[in-house]
Structure 1
Amino acid sequence: MTDSPGILFTILAFLLVIGPLIFVHELGHYLAGRWCGVKADVFSIGFGREIAGYTDSRGTRWKLGWIPMGGYVKFAGDMNPASVPTPEWLALPPEERAKTFQAKPVWQRFLIVFAGPFTNFVVAIGIFMAFFAVYGAPRTPSVVSAVIEGSPAARAGMQPGDRIVAIEGRPIERFDDLADMIRFRPDERLRIDLVRGSETRSLFVVPVANVERDRFGNEFRKGTIGVMSGPQVVVPVPLHELPVEATRQTFGIVRMMVDTLGQIVTGRRSVKELGGPIKIAQVSGQQASLGLLNFVMLMALISINLGFINLLPIPMLDGGHLVFYLFEGIARRPVPERAMEWAFRSGLAVLLSFMIFVTLNDILSLGALERLAGLIG
């Protein structure tokens, strides 16, 4: 029997997570556009028919759509990612044309698009800064206090007192860094560099997969090598170090996302571990039921995910636009219109296929099909 919050509570928690994060993402685009002198026609949270909205003194329509699964800012002239002038754009008076997205130099268009994902990272950094300012930052030296008999670490020759300094050439400063590296690499052969006394050694360890289940019934496949750390201490973080510590935490999570995505692409992790909107809603309800702190930390993680996903070089996403602008900046000419058309068609197909896949993944992980089959049977 697993604890599970009600469906209405889950939906509310999901909206309270995703709504503000979509807003700050689009606000990043909007503010960068204003700084560059681009007029925004529409600022929308959600898609579909407008259920509420107003028009400000600048002529921007701020509105709420009835499908809360995203948002957008429509800038004046923002209708042709290939930067190819259209008859409608050429017909605009010069003063109006100067305020359009396409009239801006490529570096400004790049900045406007990049500002959305960047704002998501800034939000996460701000949350971590607040957390570290109030509670301090947990730190554990990368020193092995105990080695479990018969474990991969024991078979490799690791001993208590060993100080881990690197895994696969990546520096390790804290035991948390060690745990993060091992957790996402089950069944991989890893080189571990350590210091024993005054001697530096290198060992090879293959983490075993350990399947864990939380109180909600969610399963997680994690790598483990069978070593234990010393006691963790929470240390105060000086005010001037908060941005650095929070940024390190944020991009440590990004690095884990990159590693995990690479493992899924190469087949080292199951695609069943991918989640979509239903899974996000489920986890939002679970974390909200555990308290405000858990909920806010989840918002930081989701914000990082939004920033990371939007930077993927896929047409239709911010990252795809950034690739086109990089090409334009280097080649001194826009991407050919025909190539742009096919890129966006393929990008749309990829995104739709991915959304269908992760939604089915979510449904299967919840066991909905099995319960339906049981009802029919």
Structure 2
Amino acid sequence: MDLFSSLFSVLVGYALPFLFVLTVVVFFHELGHFLVARWCGVKVDAFSVGFGTELAGFTDRKGTRWRLSAIPLGGYVKFAGDENASSMPDRERIAAMSAEERRSAFVAKPVWQRAAVVAAGPIANFLLAIVIFAFVFAAFGRVVTSPLIEKVQPESAAEQANLQPGDLVLAVDGKPITTFSELQRIVTVSADVPLQLDIDRKGEVLRIEVTPQHREVTDSFGNTQRIGLLGVTRSPKPEDLTVIHYGPLEALAEGARETYFVVERTLGYLGGVLTGRESADQLGGPIRVAQVSGQVATLGFVPLLSLAAVLSVSIGLLNLMPIPMLDGGHLVYYFAEAVRGKPLSERVQDFGFRIGIALVLMLMIFATWNDVLRLTDL
């Protein structure tokens, strides 16, 4: 009975939230490919949520097989003329097609249409994130506090820069801010990077340079991450706390800004990894996503929705990486074709796909290894 209870707890606590988040994100990614393909007159052979053996499905009136498959770790849209789910062309099948069949094949479409179909997946991920964030803001609003410093921690970056309790932060590097969370967001991704703070100190506007310190912090779930810290706390006074309510258009604008922030932060972290400023051990794989999904699910459905939005942005960015087999790699091929006036040779494309598969597998193994190391540290 104890074993059964433990398994049930893992299923409900981790597996179901993980599958919910991943299925929503993957479905909309593939739906982007699907809708633009249909708009361009491409025949879609299959739309699958998951890989492997089909568990359930149906065929629509246009001949597309909609599948729910056994391995719920992704999905794909397979176009007429594709060899597999990575959209590698099946040249034997294409050669055997009739003229009418060839007209609806993905590979026979103009390069701009193929590029539009491929780009639609990541774009759908970004749009999904905007809509989710907008829904949360419109339905629940946002609780914010003013960027007023209540306390300065000893031996912190803030103390070294002579920031003082009562200072009101007006801008960071010339960018005006109105909430403490805006200050936090900038600081957390700016470890060891000098920042220029414009502050109001008893009516006098001062400019102070401060460099956030690189620190490891542990959240309430025991997860450790390295971020930049100033060493200041916000004001707890009720008069410094505000609930902002948004109308539909305002919520969409805030959703777009939130999505842009996630993109900016993700690219900033990846850039830090490439330059050696950040450690790659913060990268996570499916185990990490499942763990975080379960933890966030304990906070409620709305935080889980927000996690789905963040993951949607991450998957959109990942797919835009210029690696053959991913959407970004296909776009590189199509760009080369547009410039040359003809596709790259079959040999070059096949070689690129093999390199792409190897790179993706190495990235998956590395991220999963990071996940395992985190689990052993718990």
1:51 aligned residue: 55
Is the 2:82–2:88 contact (alpha carbons within 8 Å) kept by the matching residues of 1? Answer: no
1:226 aligned residue: 231
Distance, in Å, in 1 between the alignment partners of 2:90 and 2:316 is 30
Deviation at residue 90 of structure 1 after TM alignment: 4.3
Residues paired across the two proteins, number: 364
Deviation at residue 85 of structure 1 after TM alignment: 9.7
Superimposed CA distance per residue, residues 186-232 of structure 1 (whole angstroms, 9 cap, x where no aligned partner) = 3x131314255798765432222333223332112221112344534
Runs (5+) with no aligned partner, structure 1: 371-377
Deviation at residue 170 of structure 1 after TM alignment: 6.0
Deviation at residue 89 of structure 1 after TM alignment: 2.3
Q: Which amino acid aligns with 1:177?
A: E
Give TM-score, length-normalised by structure 1.
0.87
Give the secondary structure class of the aligned counterpart of 1:335.
coil
Give the secondary structure class of the aligned counterpart of 1:48.
strand
Distance, in Å, in 1 between the alignment partners of 2:251 and 2:221 is 33
Deviation at residue 278 of structure 1 after TM alignment: 0.8
Identity in percent? 42
Deviation at residue 66 of structure 1 after TM alignment: 1.6
With over 3 angstroms needed to count, the CA separation of the structure-2 counterparts of 1:234 and 1:336, relative to structure 1, is farther
- Selected match of 2:365 from 356, 369, 373: 356
**Is 1:296 paired with 2:297?**
no
**Is 1:264 paired with 2:273?**
yes
2:212 aligned residue: 207
Within a 5 Å distance, the mapping from 1:1-377 to structure 2 comes to: 6-9=9-12, 10-79=14-83, 86=91, 88-142=93-147, 144=149, 146-159=151-164, 160-167=166-173, 172=177, 174-186=179-191, 188-196=192-200, 202-230=207-235, 231-367=240-376
Superimposed CA distance per residue, residues 255-310 of structure 1 (whole angstroms, 9 cap, x where no aligned partner) = 11111111222222222211110111111122222222222222122212211211
With over 3 angstroms needed to count, the CA separation of the structure-2 counterparts of 1:8 and 1:82, relative to structure 1, is closer
Structure 1's consecutive aligned runs of 4 or more residues displaced over 6 angstroms after TM superposition are 80-85, 197-200
With over 3 angstroms needed to count, the CA separation of the structure-2 counterparts of 1:366 and 1:200, relative to structure 1, is same
Runs (5+) with no aligned partner, structure 2: 1-6
Is the 2:32–2:121 contact (alpha carbons within 8 Å) kept by the matching residues of 1? Answer: yes
Q: Which amino acid aligns with 1:207?
A: P
84-93 or 259-268: which moved more? Answer: 84-93
Deviation at residue 7 of structure 1 after TM alignment: 1.5
Is the 1:44–1:71 contact (alpha carbons within 8 Å) kept by the matching residues of 2? Answer: yes
Give TM-score, length-normalised by structure 2.
0.87
With over 3 angstroms needed to count, the CA separation of the structure-2 counterparts of 1:145 and 1:332, relative to structure 1, is farther
Q: Which amino acid aligns with 1:93?
A: S
Give the secondary structure class of the aligned counterpart of 1:6.
helix
215-224 or 96-105: which moved more? Answer: 215-224
Give the secondary structure class of the aligned counterpart of 2:75.
strand
Superposed CA RMSD: 2.8
Distance, in Å, in 1 between the alignment partners of 2:249 and 2:52 is 45
